[in-house]
Structure 1
């Protein structure tokens, strides 16, 4: 289908008037017919430009589509490689964190503390191999620096009960038996009459 070509329209700039000339124009000197002609000309130019824009918009969209289609295979492969490398790095970080937590679980009360305190990236090489000996050495050094992170030696501490605390220690304990509660309400009601 042959494309219709329209002759290029040359845009004419409206005549510029100096501000001094505009200020000197009075109502008597105002030429209504000339002003209407200028407005009509400006409107027709604007209409022509809108028509031209409507004709060119599909061409611009098609050009953008062709540009995206011509994206080289190398660019697409580079984007895919970058995404794959990011996924692999995340998987290695997760594996190292799991290994650190597993090794810390025997000595630390909360193995996540150990994983958070160590530089996890230092324990994996370029191939993703995890150096467990380095992790063990750093965990031992961390436990020396922060002994309060270690597991208690003789089992978990339990607080000793203090019988003087709470409602049972001060003698103001009320019964929770429904019969006793009802009896108390009845006594209060009879005292009120």
Structure 2
């Protein structure tokens, strides 16, 4: 029975809204400045009252949130703590695997951090948290096959001599530092003697 009354009310409202535009379009009232200002004052007053009520209710909403957090069950709090601890443990395991990969790569790679960035570090830890170093070694050697330019330089070939800065264009041993003015004067004297 209540459903019938609700549908009747909805139908009546639809008929009223359909009839309302016809009444408005038939005749428009002239603009009345005093009535418009009065309506504006009324709306501003209502808005101000609503803003005051909102300011009064905001602290109550914050307090309700605090009470809700305080009423969380012990299981919820422990669940949050467990999640935080798991995240910390995962970070620690990733750091441990990264340092292990870097240590093993230091023997073969010019920059061991290249290997750390190229490998999937999560693949080397089992469910118990044990790091599979044999698999790391195998993947490092496979990585060197794919990217041989990452390998340490081969020192077995002939070494090039280190440069000696005392040798050079001076010809007769070490040069003494001179100022440009002294060099010019020496040049002029040699030029005049040769004449």
TM-score, length basis structure 2:
0.58
Q: What displacement does 1:121 show?
A: 1.2
Unpaired stretches in structure 2, ≥5 consecutive residues: 1-22, 187-195
- Whichever structure has more helix as a proportion of its residues is 2
Q: Number of paired residues?
A: 158
User: Separation in 2 of the partners of 1:42 and 1:36?
Assistant: 10
In structure 2, the CA distance between the partners of 1:60 and 1:19, relative to structure 1 (3 Å rule), is farther
Q: What displacement does 1:129 show?
A: 0.7
Preserved contact between residue 175 and residue 181 of structure 1 (Cα < 8 Å): no
Residue 25 of structure 1: aligned partner: 30
Instruction: Please show how residues 1-193 of structure 1 align to structure 2 within 5 Å.
Output: 18=24, 23-25=28-30, 30=32, 32=34, 42=43, 45-46=46-47, 48-151=49-152, 152-154=154-156, 158=160, 168=169, 176-177=177-178, 180-183=179-182
User: Separation in 1 of the partners of 2:151 and 2:30?
Assistant: 93
Which SS does the other structure have where 1:24 is aligned? coil
Higher mean alpha-carbon deviation, 62-71 vs 122-131, is at: 62-71
In structure 2, the CA distance between the partners of 1:156 and 1:97, relative to structure 1 (3 Å rule), is farther
User: Separation in 1 of the partners of 2:87 and 2:176?
Assistant: 65
